[in-house]
Structure 1
Amino acid sequence: MLPNGNVMSVIAIARWVTLAVAAFGFAAEFASTAEPPEASRPPAELAGFFAPPEKYRSEFGSFRSPLVFGDGTPVRTAADWQRRRKEILTTWHNRMGPWPALIDKPRVEVVNTTRRENLTQHQLRVEIALGGEMVDALLLVPDDPVPVQKRPAVLVVYYDAETGAGLGAPLRDYGWQLAKRGFIALSIGKPNARIDFGDHSRPRGEPYLGPVGKPVRVQPLSALTYAAANAHTVLAQRPEVDPARIGIVGHSFGGKWAMFASCLYDKFTCAVWSDPGIVFDERDRRKENPSGSVNYWDVWYLGFDLGALADPKNAGPFRKLPSEGQARTGAYKTLVEGGHDLVELHALMAPRPFLVSGGTADLPERWPALNHAIAVNKLLGFDHRVAMTNRDTHTPTEQANEQVYRFFERCLNNPE
């Protein structure tokens, strides 16, 4: 938990978050390159994570700048950026397959309600996936002796709902830990992952490709993003949740999911991406990252050839690296060969804060990619919106997770 007693620091952070949330309302009208006011800065205890190491401070890598339109015209003003932002969204949705309409009022079925320590756990079935599929979820609601204020909330995404709720692998229990800190947490897994409290060690199961037996019209990772956007609506429509203060977090597979969801759906106030691989990376990094490659080319991410039927039992194994002769397929092929990279998605977060909780997939060498998001924020007149912490393992650590919780406390907590 954060130290108590520093009232002025908390007030400053409230102003910092308010400025970030409000920016979309006036960024198109006012372009500013002035230094943000002092109140917009993060507190000293987090400030170091928002600055690249000196060696990367002026490095932008070989990535194409998101501040350039598709026709090569530079983005010079905040009004330009709003048009460029729409262009990026349109490009990525066209490549990945456009979403159907989001669900205005998702159905929510309560399966079971239990008590766990000082909170209530609701086992739910929620209507959030493509085709109106119902998805298993766990909602954690802390006790509130004086229920007079709406609470901040965090959506936790992973292979299954149990892990994020503290009923699975250790150090991935973001929802459970945040609920103990006063947040409402909704933990979801893949749409085809059913809750099983009797087996917390079961394998991750079949990949999610879309509604089984139907033609795949949306890349699986984008389909998961669609589900997360509807899950945001589930949280926002809860009477105890403040819809303006909803974040998202995920690790590894969940980190990819959280990154795409927060970038493509701007109602998420802030986000944490734990070691997802924040850029396309076809290098052989098995020594540095024994847990696996940054495998967006796999069919359950962006490599599906749209139109084929969703058959998760025959999705195939992890693919070889493209550098090892594996042909690129699906949206991954068209995006990479078209010169696109995930820096374009990172830019869509601006000016909302995000934290990369980096491990062996996302080492400090990723800062040149993040510098592009920093540049977009500067164009909008904002600083200290892009952060990265680093650890030596892909698996989260207690220290890394504490940094995650502090980030959410600083971005989402009500200061009153």
Structure 2
Amino acid sequence: LSRRRERQVPMAVEQGSPVKEPLYQGNGPLGLREAMESCPRKEVDNFQEKLVEENFYLMTESGEQGRLPVLLLKLNDTAPERKPVVVILHSSYKCKEWLRPLLEAYASRGYIAVAIDSRYHGERASSKTTYIEALNSAWRNGDTMPFIFDTVWDLIKLGDYLSAREDVDPSRIGITGESLGGMHAWFAAFVDTRYSVVVPIIGVQGFQWAIDNDKWQARVDSIKPLFEEARIDSGKSEIDAEVVKKVTI
């Protein structure tokens, strides 16, 4: 991962502000919003008044996508003890604000709860097609790795930052995510053992197994414009296992 970075940049933190109108790509997340809002919080008196919200950016590498947006929630606690952290990662086309009900649920239980925008999502996107455009560009040019590995690099840098915070217990940093976020969590925990617990949700997939067992269709449907681009380049009339292998293996 480090060899693909043109130039290493020193760790820097830039103050941010709450996002008032989060950008959701694709068809949007409205169908599942009620389920997210139902995430149960622990009963805490005056919870909203005690909730501390931090919005900031970490500089993980040079360039526009090297500016990592972070949302952190915790309870205002004067006790000096270091706290456990849970990092929660969103799925394709969503953003860190989508995860706020989960962040609040963990914060109510004494965790420092953290979410980021993955590459070309949320504050790192400029339109509803930014992510797909980045995937297509990577297929054509091979100059970036927007699907998994560039965000994994961000998570390594996030680990640097969290481990250095005075309110964090660096031995108790866990990570989870859904779908695309689950893949990011899985790979990040593999390369960075500071993530001592990893719980990916529908996020672990063997692409070769999927091809061998004709189980690749759901993954293709989630980012179909990319596979259509590969199909055209391959001179195929439809997406098949050979096209999928060229993209994923």
Does residue 133 (structure 1) correspond to residue 44 (structure 2)? The answer is no
Does residue 112 (structure 1) correspond to residue 17 (structure 2)? The answer is yes
Could you list the runs of 5+ residues in structure 1 that have no partner in the other structure? Answer: 1-92, 167-172, 197-201, 287-291, 300-313, 334-416
Does the CA contact (< 8 Å) of 1:157 and 1:254 recur in 2? yes
1:176 CA drift (Å): 2.6
Residue 243 of structure 1: aligned partner = 170
Does residue 328 (structure 1) correspond to residue 245 (structure 2)? The answer is yes
Q: Deviations over 1:208-236 (max 9, x none)?
A: 55999986154641111111111111212
Residue 88 of structure 2: aligned partner = 156
Measured at CA, do residues 119 and 101 of structure 1 come closer, stay the same or move farther in structure 2, by a change above 3 Å?
A: farther
Does residue 179 (structure 1) correspond to residue 107 (structure 2)? The answer is yes
For 2:62 and 2:9, locate their aligned partners in 1 and report how far apart those are by CA, in whole Å.
13
1:19-38 alignment, distance < 5 Å: none
Does the CA contact (< 8 Å) of 2:121 and 2:130 recur in 1? yes
Q: In structure 1, what residue type is equivalent to 2:152?
A: T
For 1:195 and 1:253, locate their aligned partners in 2 and report how far apart those are by CA, in whole Å.
17
Does residue 206 (structure 1) correspond to residue 131 (structure 2)? The answer is yes
Could you list the runs of 5+ residues in structure 2 that have no partner in the other structure? Answer: 20-46, 231-237
Q: In structure 2, what residue type is equivalent to 1:138?
A: L
1:322 CA drift (Å): 4.3
Residue 394 of structure 1: aligned partner = none
Does residue 193 (structure 1) correspond to residue 126 (structure 2)? The answer is no
Q: In structure 1, what residue type is equivalent to 2:167?
A: E
User: Which of the two has greater strand per residue?
Assistant: 2
Q: Secondary structure at the match of 2:185?
A: helix
Does the CA contact (< 8 Å) of 2:53 and 2:73 recur in 1? yes
For 2:218 and 2:161, locate their aligned partners in 1 and report how far apart those are by CA, in whole Å.
33
Bigger relative CO (Cα 8 Å, ≥ 6 apart) = 1
Q: In structure 2, what residue type is equivalent to 1:249?
A: T
The TM-score normalised by the length of structure 2 is: 0.65
Does the CA contact (< 8 Å) of 2:96 and 2:116 recur in 1? yes
User: Which of the two has greater helix per residue?
Assistant: 2
For 1:231 and 1:211, locate their aligned partners in 2 and report how far apart those are by CA, in whole Å.
26
Residue 218 of structure 2: aligned partner = 293
Residue 226 of structure 1: aligned partner = 153
Aligned match for 1:123, one of 44, 50, 55: 55
- The structure with more radius of gyration: 1
For 2:136 and 2:52, locate their aligned partners in 1 and report how far apart those are by CA, in whole Å.
31
Q: Secondary structure at the match of 1:227?
A: helix
Q: Deviations over 1:31-87 (max 9, x none)?
A: xxxxxxxxxxxxxxxxxxxxxxxxxxxxxxxxxxxxxxxxxxxxxxxxxxxxxxxxx
Q: Secondary structure at the match of 1:192?
A: coil
Does residue 257 (structure 1) correspond to residue 162 (structure 2)? The answer is no
Does the CA contact (< 8 Å) of 1:150 and 1:241 recur in 2? yes
Does residue 266 (structure 1) correspond to residue 193 (structure 2)? The answer is yes
Q: Secondary structure at the match of 1:326?
A: helix
Measured at CA, do residues 189 and 217 of structure 1 come closer, stay the same or move farther in structure 2, by a change above 3 Å?
A: closer
Does the CA contact (< 8 Å) of 2:82 and 2:166 recur in 1? yes
Q: Secondary structure at the match of 1:293?
A: helix
Identity of aligned residues (%): 19
For 2:119 and 2:205, locate their aligned partners in 1 and report how far apart those are by CA, in whole Å.
23
Aligned-residue Cα RMSD (Å) equals 4.0
1:187 CA drift (Å): 0.4
